[in-house]
Amino acid sequence: MVTIPAPETLTKAERHIVNSWFSAAEAVCVDPWFEPIINGRHRLWNTLTHFGDRLVPLAGDALGYATPTNTEVLGEVWPELYRVHVDELAAIEWFDLHDPMNSRFAHALDQAARGEHPAPR
């Protein structure tokens, strides 16, 4: 979870949009090495002109499955799936590991690749 400062002047409709955008069940989900966007494509419609050159907040998809319940279903090979994701992420030139959120994302992938369940944040 991430706490973000929000303007105090959000309208009821704007609060609804923000809650929808950042809801765990409705987040815009995609991993940097994968296309197309998994969930939330409709929330991106007509927003890029608003964001301009600023970053668009997205949630990763793969880490959502690095939980005891999901990895039990995936079986003993589940860390190998995350090792592949670590390699895929390392091959992406534009991914900025200096960004704190990106760094946390990469660290959680490394944990999963070692067979550890990353702590939800």
pLDDT in tens, the chain (121 residues): 556 666 678 888 888 877 777 666 667 778 999 877 766 766 676 677 777 787 777 778 899 899 999 999 999 999 999 999 999 999 999 999 999 889 999 999 999 999 999 987 6
Buried b (16+ CB within 10 A) or exposed e, 92-117: eeeeeeeeeeeeebbebbbbbbeeeb
Please choose, from the candidates 97, 26, 82, 32, the residue with its C-alpha nearest in 3D space to the C-alpha of residue 60. Answer: 32
Q: Tell me, what's the pLDDT at 26?
A: 65
CA distance 95 to 89: 8
Is residue 30 within 8 Å of 58, Cβ to Cβ?
yes
Radius of gyration (C-alpha) of the chain in whole angstroms: 16
Tokens (6 digits) for 70: 């999901």
Q: What is the DSSP letter of 31?
A: -
Q: Tell me, what's the pLDDT at 24?
A: 64
